[in-house]
Structure 1
Amino acid sequence: MDFQEKTGLPHTQDVPAFLEGLRRLKEESGLTLRQLEQRAAAKGELLPRSTLSSMLSGRRLPRPELLATFIRACGHEERVDAWLAARDTLAAGLRSEEDPAEAAPAPAAPAPAAPAPAPAPAPDGPNPTAAGPGPVPAAPVPDTDTEGRGTHASRSRPYRRLLRPRLLVPLAVVALVGATAGVLGTRSEDPGPGPATAADAARESSGQTTTRTAREKGEIPRGAIRLHPLSADRLCLTDGHVRDGRYHSQVAVQRPCDEAPPQKTELRREPGSDGYRIQWHHPEFGTGCLKVLDSGPGKGLLEPWDACDRAELFQVVPAPGRGVVTLRTEGGRCVGMAEPVTAERTEAVAQRCTTGRHQLFRVEPAD
């Protein structure tokens, strides 16, 4: 049985079959992720282990350049064109399925060219000419990427789309409730804990941010740390997979602390900022920083991304208790544990901020 027949390349009719062929190709190479990365580097190419891991365990088509690098690293230079052709065929099919109207936007154009017969614009009121150009731009709005996702394998494509909504959310919040000076403090939503709100105000009036105060208080140790959700203090926030299988890349979950190694966690201060990156270090996958996913099956989950400069910038806000903090996202949400909050392998998600223990984390040195 030749290579093409074993990998199913000639019969690849859908994305799952295509990805299964890639997994078989990796298995037949007998190479580890690290070895594949090293082979690519020897040719002057980049093939990060974490990116490769997500590509092989994902559900989306890889980028063409990533696919070509992987095929070459597996030792099949002569097969690159065949794999790329199969990928392009699948990508074209996905685009036509997701956006069938894209191929026929022209028929909609004549509508504004004939404002005289006004039966359609009549319901809009006494100004039918103003209504004419309105519906036309609505047709080409879809800008979906049928190949990219917020996974490691396709991180470079959705950066701008994923970051833009987070920039708009705080602006919308400020516009809606700008009359309240404490709109960015999550405790202002809850009238109960007055002392905590007063403490926040004191920090702001002294010109210090909450994250800077947390570091100065020693609540953020340097180096490797453990993040214990107070709702399950015996567990640690580390890498894992969602329990229901809806998302295949690694995400942040709570597991027994002795299962966390060899992955290590750090809170790294962003230069020139009061924010922190939650950075993971793994001997096989390398370094990645957590990013909140804003769309797709992984919406709300925290996924490690290779490009730390485009990952989430968290505000680390001190809370009552030694070393206890909340982790606030760029969009004004808080990191918390999903239900059931005490169970092993429960996912961390971005939630509306509350005073619940499932959104409080105790930070301690890992050693």
Structure 2
Amino acid sequence: MGNQEESLPHRAQDAGEFIAAMRHLKERSGLTYRQLERRAAERGETLARSTLADVLRGRTLPRPELLAAFVRACGDDHRLEGWLAAREEVAGRAAAEGSATVRRTSPHRSAGRKPALMVAVAATVALLLAGGVGAWQLYAPGGGEPTGKAGASRTAGPPHLLQSSAPSPPSAGSGRLSGWVRIRPVTAPRLCLTDGRVRDRRYTPLVAVQRPCDQVAPQDTLLEPMGGDSYRIQWHHPDYGMGCLKVLSRGPGAGLLEPMDDCAEDSRFHIEPSGPYVNGTYVLRVDGQGCVGIRGSGRSEGTEAVMERCVGKGGQVFTIEPAR
């Protein structure tokens, strides 16, 4: 837990220090990105965890409405006015310093720097091209290991889990599945089941939707056998951590599938073949709730996954294959 003094916004002299104060507030709250997003949604506010993660690892001031949603979600409501005032002060100081810099810089000086700047940019581009994967690793968000596919073998797990022992990838012809996988609806084979937002915005937290398979990274999907044909479906993300899919049974998100931080809240999915095992196609059934299906067997990007009466065809049939 962070020291409360470190999250006092009025002490910030620039955007970097202000963002650092926001990070300390999040640490002091003890809440994950997913929990903060859910708390904001309960207030009718939007606090996308992907956007918040970008803000907290950057050096750019957040929009006032995002800052307000974040502070309230962290339980720091009583200091909200102070946070907003401090943000405006930092923004004003940066604008004033920028204007002063422009006034101090003559046209002749600016023109004199252009060739040197162009040479520096060209050298940097050449270095990045020569560095290949090394350049990706150097500029990976948050530092440390790269989060793209160039970083590590999928059979070893995603980069942020390399120190853990990962199950072996599934074999399409076997009766038992486990490991890092892609789940693709047969009605839209170029799309994969991953996180996204419902189109009508009736529920703001991230839920299961279908999106292009090449846009799923850096999130990874893990099937964890729980006995028999029962599985836990885990999503792993370097920023958001691990979430286990749960079928929501009430409220505005009823029927949707949401990743939960606490895997004790998850749903157990019976993954049953929809034909011979060698086909690699399955239905995902949850006791007493039905089968997972793409709403209306839709083929378009962003269509959400929902619980439906089991019919075993159309958008309820999925291909499960090793992640490559």
Indicate the TM-score class for this superposition, using the shorter chain for normalisation.
0.5 to 0.7
Give the distance between the partners of 1:361 and 1:292, measured in 2 at CA: 17
Aligned to 1:141: none
Give the distance between the partners of 1:298 and 1:29, measured in 2 at CA: 37
Q: Which has the larger radius of gyration?
A: 1
Task: Map 1:226-237 onto structure 2 (within 5 A).
Answer: 226-237=182-193
Aligned to 1:366: 323
Aligned to 1:305: 260
Aligned to 2:74: 70
1:277-296 alpha-carbon deviations (Å, 9 max, x no partner): 11101111111011111112
Give the distance between the partners of 1:309 and 1:217, measured in 2 at CA: 31
Q: Secondary structure at the match of 1:343?
A: coil
Give the distance between the partners of 1:228 and 1:307, measured in 2 at CA: 25
Aligned to 1:281: 236
What number of residue pairs does the alignment pair up?
199
2:212 to 243, 248, 256: 256
Q: Secondary structure at the match of 1:331?
A: coil
Task: Map 1:16-35 onto structure 2 (within 5 A).
Answer: 30-31=18-19
Q: Which amino acid aligns with 1:70?
A: C
Aligned to 2:48: none
Task: Map 1:110-259 onto structure 2 (within 5 A).
Answer: 218=174, 221-259=177-215
Give the distance between the partners of 1:32 and 1:309, measured in 2 at CA: 32
Aligned to 1:88: none
2:272 to 317, 320, 331: 317
Over 3 Å counting, the alpha-carbon distance change for 1:30 and 1:328 in structure 2 is farther
Question: Does residue 1:50 correspond to 2:34, yes or no?
Answer: yes
Could you tell me whether the CA contact under 8 Å between 2:39 and 2:73 is conserved in 1? Answer: no
Aligned to 1:331: 288
Q: Secondary structure at the match of 2:74?
A: helix
Aligned to 1:79: 79
Q: Which has the higher strand share?
A: 2
Give the Å deviation of 1:31.
Answer: 3.5
Runs of 4 or more consecutive aligned structure 1 residues displaced over 3 Å after TM superposition: 27-33, 38-41, 56-61, 66-69, 214-217, 219-222
State the TM-score, normalized to the length of structure 2.
0.53
Could you tell me whether the CA contact under 8 Å between 2:235 and 2:243 is conserved in 1? Answer: yes
Unaligned segments of structure 1, at least 5 residues: 1-26, 84-213
1:197-246 alpha-carbon deviations (Å, 9 max, x no partner): xxxxxxxxxxxxxxxxx989535543221001011111100000001111
1:62-110 alpha-carbon deviations (Å, 9 max, x no partner): xxxx9788256xxx9x739x99xxxxxxxxxxxxxxxxxxxxxxxxxxx
Could you tell me whether the CA contact under 8 Å between 1:334 and 1:353 is conserved in 2? Answer: yes
Give the distance between the partners of 2:40 and 2:246, measured in 1 at CA: 20
Aligned to 1:345: 302
Give the distance between the partners of 1:220 and 1:227, measured in 2 at CA: 15
1:145-164 alpha-carbon deviations (Å, 9 max, x no partner): xxxxxxxxxxxxxxxxxxxx
1:103-124 alpha-carbon deviations (Å, 9 max, x no partner): xxxxxxxxxxxxxxxxxxxxxx
Give the distance between the partners of 1:290 and 1:54, measured in 2 at CA: 15
1:243-302 alpha-carbon deviations (Å, 9 max, x no partner): 1111101000001100111111111122x6652111101111111011111112111110
Could you tell me whether the CA contact under 8 Å between 1:316 and 1:327 is conserved in 2? Answer: yes
Over 3 Å counting, the alpha-carbon distance change for 1:55 and 1:31 in structure 2 is farther
Give the distance between the partners of 2:210 and 2:304, measured in 1 at CA: 7
Q: Secondary structure at the match of 1:224?
A: strand
Q: Which amino acid aligns with 2:249?
A: D
Could you tell me whether the CA contact under 8 Å between 2:192 and 2:211 is conserved in 1? Answer: yes
State the TM-score, normalized to the length of structure 1.
0.47
Over 3 Å counting, the alpha-carbon distance change for 1:30 and 1:290 in structure 2 is farther
Unaligned segments of structure 2, at least 5 residues: 1-14, 46-69, 84-169
1:291 to 233, 246, 249: 246
Q: Give the fraction of aligned pairs with identical amino acids, expressed as a percent.
A: 41
